[in-house]
Structure 1
Amino acid sequence: MAKTLELQFGTEFGKTGRISVDNPKEPIDEEAVKQAMEQIITAEVFTTASGKFVAAKGARVIDRNVTEYELV
């Protein structure tokens, strides 16, 4: 079972940019996530094809289960 925290940002060209964090510490501290997102925006360290991050849009935890089958 793999979990990922996905941070969603509004970009300067009106699109959505995302950053994924594997195996986030749980429970998720919403205030800490919001604060971290604001720091990422202020630092302007990420640039996407849709421009710089300008707003925090949301965050979500994605929980994924993978079952592998050997086909011999």
Structure 2
Amino acid sequence: MAKKLELKFLNEENRTVTISMDQPIEPVDPVAVNAAMDEIITQGCFFSSGGNLISKKEARIVERNVFDVQL
């Protein structure tokens, strides 16, 4: 099982931009995630094709299960 923490932002064109991180520490601390997202917006350290990140949309843990098929 592969887990990722996805941070979703809106950019200047009101489009969603996702930043993902592998193997998040669980349980996730919502206060720390919120503060990190605020800091990303404040610092302007990421730029998208639709402009700067201007607001938070959501944060979530995504879990993906992969099963090989024998051929």
Give TM class, smaller chain.
over 0.9
State how 1:1-72 maps to structure 2 within 5 Å. Answer: 1-71=1-71
Q: Offset of 1:14 from its aligned partner?
A: 0.9
Normalising by structure 2, we get a TM-score of: 0.95
Mapped to 2, the partners of 1:57 and 1:14 lie a distance apart of: 10
Aligned residues: 71
Per-residue CA shift, 1:2-43, capped at 9, x if unaligned? 000100001111111110000000001011000000000011
Structure 2 unaligned runs (5+)?
A: none
CA RMSD of aligned residues (A): 0.7
Normalising by structure 1, we get a TM-score of: 0.94
Identical amino acids, percent of aligned pairs: 45
Mapped to 1, the partners of 2:58 and 2:67 lie a distance apart of: 29
Structure 1 unaligned runs (5+)?
A: none
Q: 4+ residue stretches of structure 1 with deviation over 3 A?
A: none
